[in-house]
Structure 1
Amino acid sequence: MNELHGAGVALVTPFNADGTVDFESLAQLIDYQINAGMNYLVSLGTTGEVATLSKEERKHIWDFTVKQVNARVPLVAGIGGNNTAEIVDQIKNFDPTGFCAILSVSPYYNKPVQEGIYQHYKAIAEASPLPIILYNVPGRTGSNMTPETTVRLARDFKNIVATKEASGSFAQFNAILRDKPADFLLISGDDPITLPMMALGAVGLISVVGNAYPAKVAELVALCAKGNYTAARTIHNELLEITDLCFVEGNPCGVKYILQEQGIGQDHVRLPLIPVSAKTQAAIQAEMQKIH
């Protein structure tokens, strides 16, 4: 899965003022990412507000994204949730044309035990026509997928090829890297710790802030891949504060505001999310002035 090495971005879903999908801005965003050097794109990951999109909207966005990307870079589809049967049904009815993998978030809210998480991904792996990227983000799901479960899945299912890790636990990253099959990939799911994760052996990042700063994120990851951590550290430090501001009032509210200021779409989000406050807008504007 060389397609999953390097810098990926979890695309936001631009909306119009009336709440409909803004496909013109989505096309602009896709081209912005590719032209800036992003290695691959994730369509309808959790950053894409997929939980608020209808089945018809998801299909339309995927179809549109495949056409707009036009095989210029690899493309990953986000298909995950907390109803295993529904996710399996979505995958069985999904057209994989134009995609190289599926990113599937660990079940949220239900707080399953480890065996439940294993069985959830077992069902997905057995149904999927594409390789699977696990996604562990306990701060959002309410449960952690342990290294033992991750490695067990990697060993038992050849089409489970990577994990996007956003646990923030270096003990967890170390255990995965120590025990995983040789060809199983660890991918950072958290912008601010990509540099140290890649120093340990992660192959790249699936980014949020990359929506707004794709060239910088792509360069950071490329420098880390070359082992040039001194140069990478400069970009890492430059993006720290703006990354924090992207999340201070919910994701993708902050990064959508930055994109609006850059001339790509509007900062409209779907409830229960709301646009960032005037205070956060001012902080973002001030920080944007520092990034060159």
Structure 2
Amino acid sequence: MVAYTRSEAKQWTRQHMVKSTNAVPTPFKANFSLDLPTLASHVDRWAQDELHGLMTGGNTAEAWNMTPTEWWQYSETVAQANRGRMLLTSVILDPSPFTVLEKAHRLAELGFDLIEVINPVIQLRSDSDLFDFYKYLNDHSPLGIVLYNTPTAGVTLNHGLINRLADLEMVVGIKNGLLNPADSIALRKQCGDRIVVTEPMESFYLWDAIVHGGQCLFGTCEYVMFGRKRETLVKYMALADAGKFDQALPLYRELEPLRDLMNNAFVWNIVRKNQYSLAPIKYWFELLGFRMGPCRPPLPAFADEEMKTAIRDTLISTGVIDANQAAA
């Protein structure tokens, strides 16, 4: 059952899209089939670790590379393992509004809270067509719609269009995944009174929260990936939310080596190639004790040894894991 009515969707989202919502990889077996028991175990552990929100179904989850049957098995496993403990958002990558809505209704039944819909990847390019796409979703979706503005879709939404979409009752937020904080600042000034505008760059959160009205990290994965340094992240975010810059800054700086590692292992490939290179991220999760297995073809199954060494050495030197964890 959805926790809000249509008229309550925007305010509910404002109150609940806070703290950290992590987009996490999906575990696969050696034969590239879904490892659903391991997925359920991971979801339970993330809930026990007090992760606020879990984002499923997106690029980091390799959901684009699942069959429809697998996608449903994956989504049902997440919902059943969560048992209402974390905010659940499902990314939907389909270009057909009918497919999006079919999924949205079933996800609502499973207990998901929001859907994040990628910009249509084919056919629709004009502002008029894009508006009509989201208007149709708005009129029929049982769940609040978060826009997923990313160049990986092949088209990005301009501010004029987003401003129009922000007036729609069930459009409740946006993940502005352009890796350009200045764009998110301008967008928040324009329509942040009607939708929650999120900037996914954790490296910007201290300033975003204190100066520009940011209220969450949405669709990243630092909460899980920072391991034993998680409390440092949580503390500086809380201080930033309270406007206590001087107290937050030393904690923020402690995490700089991990940001550099994240950029080298993952972010720069998105910037340069619009490509999610997940094998290094899966190895990072493995070192934290989360069995992940390979990435599915045609992606490289595993990270190369040079990248593995860089990840392992940095996680040990920063205290995210210890040498015994790395050896295991």
- For the pair shown, which has the larger CA radius of gyration, 1 or 2? 2
CA contact (8 A) 1:12 1:211 kept: no
Following superposition, the deviation at residue 33 of structure 1 comes to 2.3
Amino acid aligned to 2:195: F
> What whole-Å deviation, never above 9, does each CA across 1:159-193 have from its counterpart, x for those lacking one?
11111111123342222221215242112223333
> In the alignment, is the contact (CA less than 8 A) between 2:91 and 2:115 conserved in 1?
yes
TM-score, length basis structure 1:
0.89
2:325 aligned residue: none
Counterpart pick for 1:243 among 240, 255, 262: 262
Question: Mean Cα displacement is larger for which, 240-249 or 277-286?
Answer: 240-249
Q: Which residue of 1 aligns with 2:326?
A: none
Please say if 1:152 is aligned against 2:178.
no
Deviations 1:8-58 (A, max 9, x none): 001211111111111232223223322333211112122111101111111
Match of 2:317 in 1: 290
1:25-40 mapped onto 2 (5 Å cutoff): 25-40=38-53
1:266 pairs, out of 280, 286, 292, with: 292
Instruction: Report the TM-score, using the length of structure 2 for normalisation.
Output: 0.80
Post-superposition shift, 1:227?
2.3
What whole-Å deviation, never above 9, does each CA across 1:78-100 have from its counterpart, x for those lacking one? 21333444334433554433111
Deviations 1:199-228 (A, max 9, x none): 311211121343422635444433322223
Secondary structure, counterpart of 2:197 in structure 1: strand
Letter in 2 for 1:144: T
Aligned to 2:273: none
Which residue of 195, 199, 207 corresponds with 1:188? 199
Q: What is the CA deviation profile of residues 233-256 of structure 1, one whole-angstrom value per residue up to 9, with x for unaligned ones? A: 225424211211331563432211
For residues 37 and 234 of structure 2, the distance between their equivalents in structure 1, rounded to whole angstroms, comes to 24
In 1, are the aligned partners of 2:29 and 2:293 still within 8 Å (CA)?
A: no
Aligned identity (percent) is 19
Secondary structure of the residue aligned to 1:96 is helix
Counterparts of 1:211 and 1:118, CA distance in 2? 35
Change (3 A) 1:24 1:134: same
| Structure 1 unpaired stretches of 5+ | none
| Distance in structure 1 (CA, Å) of the matches to 2:48 and 2:83 | 13
Query: CA contact under 8 A between 2:26 and 2:292: conserved in structure 1?
Result: no
Distance 1:90 1:31, change over 3 A: closer
